[in-house]
Every structure is written in C-alpha cells, then in structure tokens.
Structure 1
Amino acid sequence: MSKIIQKLKSALYLVRNSSNPLSAIYKQTRKNLKQYRITYQQGKNFSYKAKAGFKFICIPESKTSVNLYIQNEWYEDIELKIAGTWLCKNDNCLDLGANIGYCSALFANKVSRQGKVIAVEASPQTSEYLDEAIRLLDLRQVTLEEGCVIDRDGFVDFMVSRDGSVDVKQSLTINPEEKEAFQKKTVKAFTINQLIEKHKILQDVALVKMDIEGAEPLALKGSHLLFDKTSLPLFIIEIYKLGLSRLSFEPKDILNFLPLDLFDIYHVNRSHPNPIPEFEYGVIYPLLNPNTYSYPWHTNIIAIPKVGKYANRKRKIQSYLPERLINNMEHE
C-alpha cells in the first residue's frame, strides 16, 4: 500500500510541476514499467528494441546498460539520427570509447553484415559487457578491440570503476576526490592508425565516433590515416572540458584537427544542468567560430566532410541541420 501511495504522490507532483503533465506522466509510467521488467527478469540479460529501431540488450549488472534501457528514448537523439542516416550498407566505422556497445549496435544495423564496426573499449569489465552484447545480438560485423586508443602503442595505466557505478567516467585520469571509486589497471594501448592497418580499412572509414573522456587529442595525434582528403569520414566527438583539462588539453586541441576548410562543424550541448541557456540542451547548432566558442562542460561535436568520397552524403542528413547551414550548403 505504501508503494501505491508513493506512486500517487509522484503523479500528483508531476501534474502540479510540469508544463505538460500528461506527457510527463506518460514518460514516468514508461520508466516505471521498464524498471518492473528489470526486476521481473531477476538479473538475467534481455533484449529490447531501441527507439532508433535497432535491437539491443539490457544487462542488469551494468548501471549504464540499465540507464540506457530506461532512458534510451532520449539518449543523444540527434547524434544517433545523423549517424544512422549517414551510414550505408558495406561501410566501415570506428566506435572509440564504445562502453557496452549501444552505438556499435546501431552502426552494425546500418552497415549490414558486409560492413565493419571496430569497437574499442579500455575497461576490462566494460569490455566483458560489450563482448556479451556482441555475442547475444549476433553482431558478427562488430570487432571488439580491448585497449586504450592514444598516440602510441604498448601499455598504459587506466582508471576503472571498482563497482561499475561510475563506468562512464573511466579514463586515463580521474578527479582526485573520486579516487576511492576507481582502481588502476594496466591495459593495452594502440593508435587509430594501427587499427586502420590491422583491419585493412585504409581510406574506407565512413564514420568515427569518439568518446574517451578527454584523451581525444592523444587519439587524434595517432590518426593521420583518417585525414586523407579523398576519404574524410564524418566525426562525432565528445568535448568534455574537465577530462581534457586533467590531461592538460583544451577543446581547441580537438578542433585543430578539424579545419573549417575541410569540415562543416556543428555542436550539441550535452551539459545538464545547462550553463549556456542560449544553446538548448540536445539541439544541434552551427559552430562557425570553434576557437572563440565558450564550451559547456559536455559538448558533442559533429564534423561533416566538405571534400572526399563521403562529402556528398551531407545531403542525406540536411533535414537534421539548422536552416542556416542548409542554406549555406545549397550555395556551395
């Protein structure tokens, strides 16, 4: 009875404090039903259909997996739509910082059996979850590379979550105040160039997604094979200011690899709460002056090639772009 009363109080709160109470109640009801399903499964993995139309699995042991299942309707919606529309059958792509493989599964769905998705994850525990997702979903076009992608090969110390509760923060460095939640592991290190050569996808990478908690400039230093002007890929890169600063980097150290004469640059504000209200959360905007933009703590950069064999695909995704940029494209 107490649980029922609690739910009724929550519903009343939503009605009183939401500009669209019916929508808020609907979303909360869906969340509750998903939480009940996880409880009903009694710790067992199960598959479900994500909003973007691909099949994925919920791993109750993984907090990230549970959050994705419950919140997947709102997870980086515009970025996934652009990636899914951009990719074609037989394409190759890199998912750097793949975590449990949510993006990798979407990419695999788009590139078909003939394409390749190289999914890189440094954390041994998270890699196990990713490997489980690949196996249960029969994603034979996805290859897991366990290790840290930086500017050299060998081995490197990597901070992993002790209990999995902060696995999205696993990185080369962590906040000192959070050190008790992490432990150091020695993991394999390699470059993007080595991945390209190993998997024989030179000049055939259509998309690169990179979310590696501030180590992006290191990875880009070892990626010159990606920047052949005849075959520039689409880039989706997280800019996490705190992660970058811990490695003595700034956002410009990423954007310097994406010159405006070769790429159209867009940004999506992913900071919550939002410190820059003029840029609405989750909405794509043009980034016309990358070096003068005041980045929030979390931003996703989308860099679309202007030249090379993939450049003509920007027409496919123009419906997702701001009107101003569509007009600019029409005059190119």
Structure 2
Amino acid sequence: MTDDNWKRSKPTVEDVRLAYLMLLGREPEDETALRNGIEFYGTLNTLRNSMATSDEGKRALLALLSPSFSDSRVKFHSGRGFDIWLELQDNGVSAPIFLKGRFEPYIEHFIEDRFDTNTTFVDVGANVGWFTMIAAALIANSQGVGQVISFEANPQTAELLQATVQSSSFADFIEVHALAVSNEVASVWIENPDDGNIAGASLSFGGMRRTSRHPASAVLSAPLDQILADHPQRISLIKIDVEGAEPRVIEGARAIIDRHRPALLMEFNAEALAMVSDSTPTKLAKQVERLGYALIDFRGDGVRCPVDRVETLVRENGGYYDLLAMIEGKS
C-alpha cells in the first residue's frame, strides 16, 4: 500500500483502538466510541492527525517526552508581556499553558475585563502564577497602583512561582506567600497525586496524612484574616482554587470578606471537597450565600446560579466547575 493509499483508507475498529492507545495513552471510553470513531474520522490520516493534534493528544505526547528532558522545568514566553516558569510533568496547569498559551480562558477574560487595577487581587492557590502574572501585567500596563497577593502551598510549585515573579518586571506589584490558606494556623500536609496532575495536590488537616502512598510535604497554613488583617488597599477580587479546602479558606476570611466585599472566583470540586473538608458543592454554595453573596455562572449564561443547580453543573462538567460569587444585587 502506498503512502497516499493508507492515508485515504477507512479505519477499522482495531485502528481506532490502537490510535487511542498509541496517541492518547488510554483505552477508548467504550465500544460505542470505537464504532463511532470509524465514521467520525473517516480516514486513517484524519484519525492520526485529529488525535495527535487534539489537546489530549498533545498532553499525552508531552507526558511521554518530558521525563527524557534534562530538566522538565522551562521558562515559557507567554506572549502577554511576561515569561513564566513551568513544570512540564504537570499535566494539570503547566502542560496546557505550554501547549496552548492559555489556561481556563473564562477566568483570564474575567480578570482582564473586571479587575480594577487600582485594587488588590488575592490569588489563593496560585500554582505557577498564570493568573497572578496576568493581573500584574494589567496593573503595570494600565499604570495602576494595585497589587497581587499570591498564595501557593505546594513547595515544588511555589518555587516556580517565586522564580517567575523575581525575574519579572512586574515584581513590584506582586507579593508571594509560600504557604497554605485555611481557617487556622497549623502545620498541614500537602499530598501530590500520582496521576501527573501536580496542580491537583491537596491538603490534609489534623496532623495526619490520608495515605503514605503519595509524596507529601509539611507546610504551614494560616487564615487570610490573620495574614491580611492590616492590608490597607481595597481587595476587589479573590480567586480560590485549593482542591477542596475552599470552605476552610472562606471560614478563615470572614473578616476580610465582610470588610472588603470582594468578588470571589471559586472552584467547586465534589470529590476534593468531600476528601479535604467533608463538604459538598451545595454546602459550599450555602456557606457563600450566608455571607450575602449570589452565585453567578460566569462560564455559561452569566446569570445567577441557584444553590440547587450547583451539584448539577459540577456533575455535568466532569466533577468540578468554577463559579463567581458577587455581593447580592451587585454586578
């Protein structure tokens, strides 16, 4: 068979299965996906190109190659006026940024459109600092007097965040805290998952680790009410993405929230909330509403999200979903 002929050949079920295994590194969802793949892709060439260049295909290739790199940490030029250090073995945050130059664009757009650059943005669970740097760039480019205060508990990721900030022309606008945020001053464990998603590292409270199978580090935790008690500038926006510790962050920020009434960008992750805080998306939504906030589906239709709708949104979007919380009646 010539090159041209194989490219035009219709894939078989076995071709589709092998493409999943070789290009995506996993089995297909089910037999229906296999059968549908034959008609969907049409030719072997389309099957190969579509899978290899998909977001999942790119991540699989990067995961395959990165262990062979002499150093999986790279400095990436964002195209947004800053460079950022990434860990290519992290398929949760760093890999998508490296491959696409974007991460969670709905949050990028919200910060770009709504952040007042004469106020403070608090980034809780900053990871490598993508949103931290976007906000800092906005402040600098608008000649604002605002500030970004970033918190990252994972020592491995916090090191990259600090390296990015220290080498940036926006460093004067950013304050980095390499610690966990919760509702108490305590020593806690941060445990890394074994699925390559370093961004999915989660906290374990009460002085005990959930499991000895995963790499873990002891880190200090503290509440925002203590850390930012004397912060002089208005805090207009707090982003909270801490893999299930969101209820603890909110509980430890009651005074800050009451004083500044910031918008809250929050992740609702059903599995992580249950594991880390013995909570649920509904419980977290009610906790926020009791503080006088309304939940907004800013990813979807931009309208208010009733509490009884939160669990459905989370379930329909793979187990986690980001929502905006605004003071009732404020847009």
Settle same-fold status: TM greater than 0.5: yes
Amino acid at match of 1:46: K
Indicate the residue corresponding to 1:304 in structure 2.
326
Indicate the residue corresponding to 2:40 in structure 1.
17
Change (3 A) 1:242 1:102: same
Indicate the residue corresponding to 1:111 in structure 2.
139
Indicate the residue corresponding to 2:157 in structure 1.
126
Are 1:261 and 1:306, in contact at CA under 8 Å, matched by a contact in 2?
no
Indicate the residue corresponding to 1:101 in structure 2.
129
Indicate the residue corresponding to 2:270 in structure 1.
241
Change (3 A) 1:16 1:71: farther
Could you tell me which of 140, 160, 166 is aligned with 1:135?
Answer: 166
Task: Supply the distance in 1 between the matched residues of 2:106 and 2:272 (Cα, whole angstroms).
Answer: 23
Task: Supply the distance in 2 between the matched residues of 1:170 and 1:60 (Cα, whole angstroms).
Answer: 14
Task: Supply the distance in 1 between the matched residues of 2:41 and 2:101 (Cα, whole angstroms).
Answer: 21
Are 1:92 and 1:207, in contact at CA under 8 Å, matched by a contact in 2?
yes
Change (3 A) 1:55 1:266: same
Indicate the residue corresponding to 1:206 in structure 2.
236
Are 1:122 and 1:148, in contact at CA under 8 Å, matched by a contact in 2?
yes
Secondary structure at the counterpart of residue 272 of structure 2: helix
Secondary structure at the counterpart of residue 187 of structure 2: strand
Per the normalisation by structure 1, the TM-score is 0.69
Secondary structure at the counterpart of residue 149 of structure 2: strand
Change (3 A) 1:253 1:138: farther
Task: Supply the distance in 2 between the matched residues of 1:54 and 1:133 (Cα, whole angstroms).
Answer: 12
Superposition deviation, residue 60 in structure 1: 4.8
Task: Supply the distance in 2 between the matched residues of 1:59 and 1:79 (Cα, whole angstroms).
Answer: 19
Are 2:78 and 2:101, in contact at CA under 8 Å, matched by a contact in 1?
no
Aligned CA-pair RMSD:
4.0
Superposition deviation, residue 180 in structure 1: 6.3
Are 2:188 and 2:204, in contact at CA under 8 Å, matched by a contact in 1?
no
Secondary structure at the counterpart of residue 307 of structure 2: coil
Superposition deviation, residue 138 in structure 1: 3.3
Are 1:98 and 1:120, in contact at CA under 8 Å, matched by a contact in 2?
yes
1:203-256 Cα shifts (integer Å, max 9, x gaps): x10100000111111111111123337x41111000000011113111233223
1:287-326 Cα shifts (integer Å, max 9, x gaps): 442135433210101112346xxx4xx4xxxxxxxxxxxx
Secondary structure at the counterpart of residue 106 of structure 1: helix
Task: Supply the distance in 2 between the matched residues of 1:97 and 1:261 (Cα, whole angstroms).
Answer: 22
1:49 aligns with 2:78: yes
Task: Supply the distance in 1 between the matched residues of 2:129 and 2:151 (Cα, whole angstroms).
Answer: 9
The alignment-based identity, stated in percent, is: 15
Name which one, 1 or 2, has greater alpha-carbon Rg.
2
Per the normalisation by structure 2, the TM-score is 0.69
Task: Supply the distance in 2 between the matched residues of 1:7 and 1:156 (Cα, whole angstroms).
Answer: 55
Task: Supply the distance in 1 between the matched residues of 2:307 and 2:122 (Cα, whole angstroms).
Answer: 24
Task: Supply the distance in 1 between the matched residues of 2:245 and 2:214 (Cα, whole angstroms).
Answer: 18
Are 1:94 and 1:209, in contact at CA under 8 Å, matched by a contact in 2?
yes
Indicate the residue corresponding to 1:215 in structure 2.
245
Task: Supply the distance in 2 between the matched residues of 1:196 and 1:159 (Cα, whole angstroms).
Answer: 26
Q: Which runs of 5+ in 2 are unaligned?
A: 1-5, 9-14, 24-36
Task: Supply the distance in 1 between the matched residues of 2:87 and 2:185 (Cα, whole angstroms).
Answer: 34
Task: Supply the distance in 2 between the matched residues of 1:294 and 1:60 (Cα, whole angstroms).
Answer: 32
Superposition deviation, residue 139 in structure 1: 3.0
Task: Supply the distance in 1 between the matched residues of 2:181 and 2:122 (Cα, whole angstroms).
Answer: 11
Superposition deviation, residue 170 in structure 1: 0.8
Query: Number of aligned pairs?
Result: 276
1:250-298 Cα shifts (integer Å, max 9, x gaps): 1233223433894442236xxxxxxxxxxxxx53453442135433210
Could you tell me which of 99, 111, 116 is aligned with 1:88?
Answer: 116
Change (3 A) 1:241 1:304: same
Amino acid at match of 1:243: A
Secondary structure at the counterpart of residue 228 of structure 1: helix
Task: Supply the distance in 1 between the matched residues of 2:310 and 2:221 (Cα, whole angstroms).
Answer: 32
Indicate the residue corresponding to 2:203 in structure 1.
172
Secondary structure at the counterpart of residue 295 of structure 2: strand
Indicate the residue corresponding to 1:330 in structure 2.
none
Change (3 A) 1:70 1:256: same
Indicate the residue corresponding to 1:28 in structure 2.
53
Task: Supply the distance in 2 between the matched residues of 1:62 and 1:197 (Cα, whole angstroms).
Answer: 37
Indicate the residue corresponding to 1:68 in structure 2.
97
Are 1:58 and 1:66, in contact at CA under 8 Å, matched by a contact in 2?
no
